């Protein structure tokens, strides 16, 4: 009996994690854009001299 309720709890937690991930995705995209730009600029212009 306790195993079943534990499985249900885990499934519910996975659902919550998926919702949180969906909400966080735009923030991760916005945060990654300047990082990618900096890395690109560093690789393009940094070590050439």
DSSP sequence for 1-49: -HHHHHHHHHHHHHHHHHHHHHHHHHHHHHHHHHHHHHHHHHHHHSTT-
Domain residues for the domain of 16 are 1-49
pTM of the full predicted structure?
Answer: 0.42
pLDDT at 40 over 80: yes
Q: What gap in Å lies between CA 16 and CA 47, rounded to an integer?
A: 44
Average pLDDT over residues 34-45: 91
Q: How many CA atoms lie within 13 A of 29 on its CB side?
A: 6
Q: How many domains does the chain divide into?
A: 1
pLDDT band at 44 (very low <50, low <70, confident <90, very high): confident
More confident residue, 8 or 45: 45
Q: Note the pLDDT tens digit of each residue in 1-36.
A: 556 667 778 888 899 989 888 888 888 889 999 999
């Amino acid at each position: 009996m306790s195993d079943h309720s534990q499985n249900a709890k885990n499934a519910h937690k996975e659902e919550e994690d998926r919702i949180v991930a969906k909400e966080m995705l735009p923030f991760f995209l916005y945060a990654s854009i300047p990082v990618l730009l900096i890395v690109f600029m560093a690789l393009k212009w940094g070590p050439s001299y």
